[in-house]
Amino acid sequence: MAGLYIHIPFCKQACSYCDFYFLTRRQLKDPFTEALIHEIRAHRHGPFADQPIRTIYLGGGTPSLLSGGQVQRIFEELHQSFDIQSSEITMELNPDDVTPEYLRALLEAGVNRASMGIQSFQPELLQFMNRAHTSGEAEQALDAIRQTGFPSYTADLIYGNPGQTLQMLEDDIQTLLKYDPPHISAYSLTVEPNTRLGKQVELGRLPPPDDEETAAHFDLILEQLSQAGIDQYEVSNFSKPGKEAEHNSGYWSHENYLGLGPAAHSFWWEGDHARRWKNRADINHYLEHSSKRVQDEEEILSEKTLAEERLMLGLRTARGVTPEELRSRYNYRFTPRQLEFIDRQVRAGTMHFDQHTLRMSRAGLRIADLLTVDLLSGG
Ligand code: SF4
């Protein structure tokens, strides 16, 4: 089983915190769609053509800038070129693009899960983030999801913004809960160097996010979502039972995936050979070469690197990792020093460890990356 990721690199405007690959030259949407179709066809005889495709994810950028017809065309081509057996087909949507008609066109194409870039319902925060949508459009989009009976959706929230009070965050959560979301991703605002936010912080015009405030925001999210029956299953992800994101779970457990579109990553692991590669983040190159080879960087991954990645990603999930999987799939065993470290963490209440599973406690999940780095460096 494998996954497909498709990067649609267009946006209306640059959000202040974003360092993904995107461009605002939307007149390239038609040639891009053609180029993407050529790239899909170029994989007809590659290793992914024989793999049943379990999940598809259209991300970006802003995939909802494509017309319903363009999305349908892409899916027709995917069905011709791959063995699509997907139970989950997700597409990222920005609220200002969503109408009931558009959602119906996506349903017809086969999309069954919408990923809504809500971020906040507070006008001043949306403006601070330079989002293209208004809070009214966010609510209308959620209404449209309900009206059309869209099978499933997830909504993104961003917390830890300068000037965001606990009350503002609580209002955001309560507004979202009115729409009964099956899944929510909540991200703390991250300051990336090559963004407008990064420059503002660097120049001292904005303070960097405050750790204590961010932690208080996170606690509020955890508490309010868990009261609503939406539980944390990964550091940034929350869902009702059975509504966890399948596509991302594939990344966390080293399922093979093919990335299409500029800047998309791919991963292939077969026998003792594992590699990851990235398509070049350059639309002009992509438009010219997508039918041949657009990959840029390739990395061969050793068993040790794979094992460490599995620990880094697995210990961010509530399910954790099993020593049995680490042994059989990664040939990895904890050293006596690491076992001592784990033992200390169990006593401190940050990890749980029994014969079958190592996982973080709720307290441990808050500092999961830090604890895993310590564990990997020998405890
Ligand atoms: S819409 Fe998404 S990809 Fe585009 S600039 Fe904003 S955060 Fe980045």
Three-state SS annotation for 235-298 = CCEEECCCCCCHHHHHHHCCCEEEEECCCCEEEEEECCEEEEEEECCCHHHHHHHCCCCCEEEE
Q: Pocket residues for ligand 1 (CB within 6 Å)?
A: 11, 14-15, 18, 20, 22, 60-62, 94
Q: Tell me whether residue 19 is exposed, middle or buried, using C-beta atoms within 10 angstroms of its C-beta: 0 to 12, 13 to 18, 19 or more.
A: middle
- Distance from C-alpha of 197 to C-alpha of 195, rounded to nearest angstrom: 5
> 58 CA distance to ligand 1 centroid (A)?
13
Average the pLDDT over 251-275 and give the result: 96
| Ranges 51-60, 114-123, 200-209: which has the least confidence | 200-209
pLDDT at 296: 81
Average the pLDDT over 333-354 and give the result: 96
**What whole-number percentage of the chain has pLDDT above 90?**
93
> 62 CA distance to ligand 1 centroid (A)?
7
- Residue 295: closest CA among 279, 315, 308: 279
- Distance from C-alpha of 10 to C-alpha of 4, rounded to nearest angstrom: 19
- Counting from 1 in the atom list of ligand 1, the atom nearest the Cα of 17 is 7
Model confidence at 312, pLDDT cuts 50, 70, 90, reads very high
- Counting from 1 in the atom list of ligand 1, the atom nearest the Cα of 129 is 6
pLDDT at 379: 67
The rounded mean pLDDT for the chain is: 95
**What whole-number percentage of the chain has pLDDT above 70?**
99
Pocket test for ligand 1, best of 10, 13, 18, 93 (most atoms within 8 A of CB): 18
pTM of the model: 0.96
> 6 CA distance to ligand 1 centroid (A)?
15
pLDDT at 86: 84
pLDDT at 342: 97
- Counting from 1 in the atom list of ligand 1, the atom nearest the Cα of 13 is 5
Average the pLDDT over 172-180 and give the result: 98
For residue range 37-78, what is the model confidence (pLDDT) as tens digits?
Answer: 999 999 998 999 999 999 999 999 999 999 999 999 999 999
> 169 CA distance to ligand 1 centroid (A)?
21
Atom 3 of ligand 1, nearest CA residue:
61
Atom 6 of ligand 1, nearest CA residue:
15
309 Cβ contact partners less than 8 Å away, ≥ 6 residues apart: 254, 301
For residue range 243-262, what is the model confidence (pLDDT) as tens digits?
Answer: 999 999 999 999 999 999 99
Q: Decide if 54 contacts 13 (C-beta within 8 A).
A: no
